[in-house]
């Protein structure tokens, strides 16, 4: 019986005490018999995606979970999103993560996500694609997951050293931030900031008159009349996880960020129209797809976005319900252990406390289950129970290496 492993990642799972649940977190308040069983039969701990006290984005958190040191390989959110939508970046291209947003006539951000736009994004993106800017720089623009999109500037003497115009969730109600060079003395950075600003201004004019937005206004929905930019970056070479450890990997996901990281790290991507990267995703179908992927892959990573969506929208009860749905789906993975020498890890890429509506540096709970795992005294899966676990407090890199060591594919250090 061959060894296999599954890592279940609930995006933004970690939380803080919530008054709605008498001081418990959403995970602690949820009914999770399968996670509790895995915790009781496995080993547990707390995990810092990068290091204690360091807040990370979804991209950095997942790079670490896929075994990379983001301090060495992180190249910006834009190139990851580009890979996620299948864009092959050319040398010199600068890629940005973009949001379709709703902005008032006086430049205030009314909704960073245009009502979590899900329809018409392809038509909106097509209207902005192939724009030629004033100096001949070409725009490549693609829709990504829901309200997200990718902007690529393709031209000469460009730089990724450009600030964000997106102020983040806590910036709603305030102004759009100016796109500025991060190094004032860099002529390429100043030029790229000016070109990105030109694109944003011209895009706003196009989006304001687009039929998709006129229809949204008629229906009382927020129009996607602006493009917010962040995470400028360029493509950098990196050695895939699959190549480093001579394993085959698969990632079950729908969000372009995760799809992009999976592709860059040599994993096969398993996706389906039922996977929405939102609260309405088919949770059980993802677990079933992971079990199927185990037939031909050593390591399968399942990404669930709903926990993060509920946290950003400050919906703790929705977060609890989503956690409970994931817990029910774990039954499929536990049953797969009858066919494989299977290890199961459950964790998150970062914490997103509901009442913050933003990522925090709080560590996330982690469990590791398998036939020859040394168990500890933890009896349930949650932030506080996992404090006492045998894994202690480890990094995301360490978790991945620990899982790979159980698969028998890591290298010995020393003679």
For every residue of 108-126, DSSP letters joined together read BEEETTTTT--SSHHHHHH
Q: Can you give the CATH number for the domain in which 356 is found? A: 3.40.720.10
Does residue 112 belong to any structural domain of this protein? yes
pTM over 0.85: yes
- pLDDT tens digit sequence for 96-121: 999 999 999 999 999 999 988 888 99
User: Given pLDDT bands bounded at 50, 70 and 90, which one contains residue 243?
Assistant: confident
How does the average pLDDT of the chain come out, rounded? 94
Quick check: helix, strand or coil at residue 209? coil
To which H or E segment does residue 365 belong? strand 364-369
**Looking at the predicted structure, is the pLDDT value of residue 169 above 90?**
no
Boundary (domain end) residue, out of 233, 260, 292 = 233
pLDDT at 170: 80
Q: Do residues 33 and 145 both lie within one domain?
A: no
Lowest-pLDDT choice from 64-78, 108-122, 157-171, 300-314 = 64-78
* 190 phi, psi to nearest 5 deg: -60, -40
Does residue 413 belong to any structural domain of this protein? no
40-51: average pLDDT: 97
Which pair of tokens denotes residue 168? 């983040």
Does residue 215 belong to any structural domain of this protein? yes
pLDDT at 401: 93
Which pair of tokens denotes residue 382? 């949650």
Does residue 346 belong to any structural domain of this protein? yes
Q: Do residues 165 and 213 both lie within one domain?
A: yes
- In terms of Cβ atoms closer than 10 Å to its own Cβ (0-12, 13-18, 19+), residue 286 is buried
pLDDT at 235: 85
Q: Do residues 86 and 149 both lie within one domain?
A: yes
Query: Where is pLDDT greater, at 24 or 235?
Result: 24
Does residue 324 belong to any structural domain of this protein? yes
Q: Do residues 253 and 328 both lie within one domain?
A: yes
User: Given pLDDT bands bounded at 50, 70 and 90, which one contains residue 10?
Assistant: very high
370-393: average pLDDT: 97
Compute the 3-state secondary structure of the chain and give helix, strand, coil in percent, each to the nearest 5.
35, 20, 45
pLDDT at 49: 94
Distances in whole angstroms, Cα of residue 399 to Cα of each of 261, 284, 294, 347: 18, 25, 20, 10
Boundary (domain end) residue, out of 233, 267, 282 = 233
Region of residue 312 (phi > 0: left; psi between -120 and 50: alpha; otherwise: beta):
alpha
- pLDDT tens digit sequence for 286-343: 999 999 999 999 999 999 999 999 999 999 999 999 999 999 999 999 999 988 999 9
Quick check: helix, strand or coil at residue 152? strand
Nearest to 321 by CA among 286, 281, 361, 266: 281
Q: Do residues 62 and 108 both lie within one domain?
A: no
d(CA 326, CA 34): 9
Contact 278, 259 (CB under 8 A): no
Question: Which residues form the domain of 310?
Answer: 3-74+239-407
**Looking at the predicted structure, is the pLDDT value of residue 367 above 70?**
yes
Q: What angle do CA 69, 343, 369 make, to 5 degrees?
A: 95
Does residue 51 belong to any structural domain of this protein? yes
177-181: average pLDDT: 96
**Looking at the predicted structure, is the pLDDT value of residue 181 above 50?**
yes
**Looking at the predicted structure, is the pLDDT value of residue 413 above 90?**
no
User: Given pLDDT bands bounded at 50, 70 and 90, which one contains residue 236?
Assistant: confident
User: Which residues on adjacent β-strands are paired with residue 343?
Assistant: 5
Q: Do residues 225 and 262 both lie within one domain?
A: no
CB atoms within 10 A of CB 106: 6
Q: Do residues 41 and 97 both lie within one domain?
A: no
Q: Do residues 179 and 42 both lie within one domain?
A: no
CB atoms within 10 A of CB 413: 5
- In terms of Cβ atoms closer than 10 Å to its own Cβ (0-12, 13-18, 19+), residue 270 is buried
Please, how many CA atoms are within 13 Å of residue 2, restricted to the half-sphere of its CB? Answer: 9
User: Given pLDDT bands bounded at 50, 70 and 90, which one contains residue 1?
Assistant: very low
Nearby residues of 270 by Cβ (< 8 Å), 6 or more positions away: 250, 251, 252, 253, 289, 290, 292, 293
348-357: average pLDDT: 97
**Looking at the predicted structure, is the pLDDT value of residue 80 above 80?**
yes
Q: Do residues 147 and 130 both lie within one domain?
A: yes
Contact 153, 229 (CB under 8 A): no
Contact 227, 99 (CB under 8 A): yes
pLDDT at 72: 84
Does residue 287 belong to any structural domain of this protein? yes
Q: Do residues 181 and 307 both lie within one domain?
A: no
Q: Do residues 66 and 100 both lie within one domain?
A: no
| Number of domains making up the chain | 2
CB atoms within 10 A of CB 251: 27
Boundary (domain end) residue, out of 185, 204, 233 = 233
d(CA 254, CA 342): 24
Does residue 97 belong to any structural domain of this protein? yes
Q: Do residues 286 and 380 both lie within one domain?
A: yes
Please state whether beta strands 341-347 and 364-369 pair in parallel, antiparallel, or not at all (unpaired).
Answer: antiparallel
């Amino acid at each position: 019986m061959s060894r296999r492993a599954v890592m279940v990642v609930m995006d933004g799972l970690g939380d803080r005490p919530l008054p709605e649940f008498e001081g418990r977190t959403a995970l602690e308040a949820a009914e999770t018999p399968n996670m509790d069983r895995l915790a009781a039969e496995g080993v547990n701990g707390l995990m810092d995606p990068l290091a204690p006290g360091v807040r990370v984005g979804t991209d950095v958190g997942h790079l670490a979970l896929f075994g990379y040191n983001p301090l060495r390989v992180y190249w910006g959110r834009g190139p990851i999103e580009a890979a996620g939508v299948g864009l092959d970046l050319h040398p010199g291209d600068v890629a940005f993560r973009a949001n379709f947003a709703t902005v008032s006539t006086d430049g205030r951000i009314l909704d960073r996500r245009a009502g979590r736009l899900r329809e018409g994004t392809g038509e909106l993106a097509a209207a902005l694609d192939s724009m030629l800017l004033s100096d001949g720089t070409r725009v490549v623009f693609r829709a990504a997951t829901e309200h997200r999109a990718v902007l690529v500037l393709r031209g000469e003497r460009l730089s990724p050293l450009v600030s964000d115009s997106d102020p983040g969730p806590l910036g709603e109600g305030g102004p759009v931030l100016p796109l500025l060079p991060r190094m004032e003395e860099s002529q390429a950075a100043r030029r790229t900031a000016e070109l990105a600003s030109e694109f944003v201004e011209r895009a706003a004019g196009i989006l304001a008159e687009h039929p998709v937005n006129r229809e949204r206004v008629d229906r009382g929905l927020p129009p996607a009349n602006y493009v917010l930019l962040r995470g400028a970056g360029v493509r950098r070479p990196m050695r895939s996880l699959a190549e480093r450890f001579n394993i085959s990997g698969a990632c079950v996901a729908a969000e372009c960020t995760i799809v992009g990281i999976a592709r860059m790290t040599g994993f096969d991507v398993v996706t389906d129209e039922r996977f929405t990267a939102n609260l309405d995703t088919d949770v059980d179908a993802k677990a079933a797809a992971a079990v199927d992927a185990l037939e031909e892959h050593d390591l399968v990573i399942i990404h669930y976005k709903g926990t993060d969506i509920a946290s950003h929208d400050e919906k703790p009860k929705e977060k609890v319900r989503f956690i409970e749905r994931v817990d029910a789906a774990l039954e499929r993975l536990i049953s797969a252990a009858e066919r494989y020498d299977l290890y199961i890890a459950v964790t998150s890429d970062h914490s997103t406390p509901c009442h913050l509506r933003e990522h925090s540096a709080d560590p996330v709970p982690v469990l590791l289950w398998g036939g020859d795992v040394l168990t500890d005294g933890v009896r349930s899966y949650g932030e506080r129970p996992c404090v006492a676990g045998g894994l202690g407090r480890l990094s995301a890199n360490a978790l991945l290496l620990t899982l790979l060591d159980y698969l028998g594919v890591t290298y010995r250090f020393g003679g």
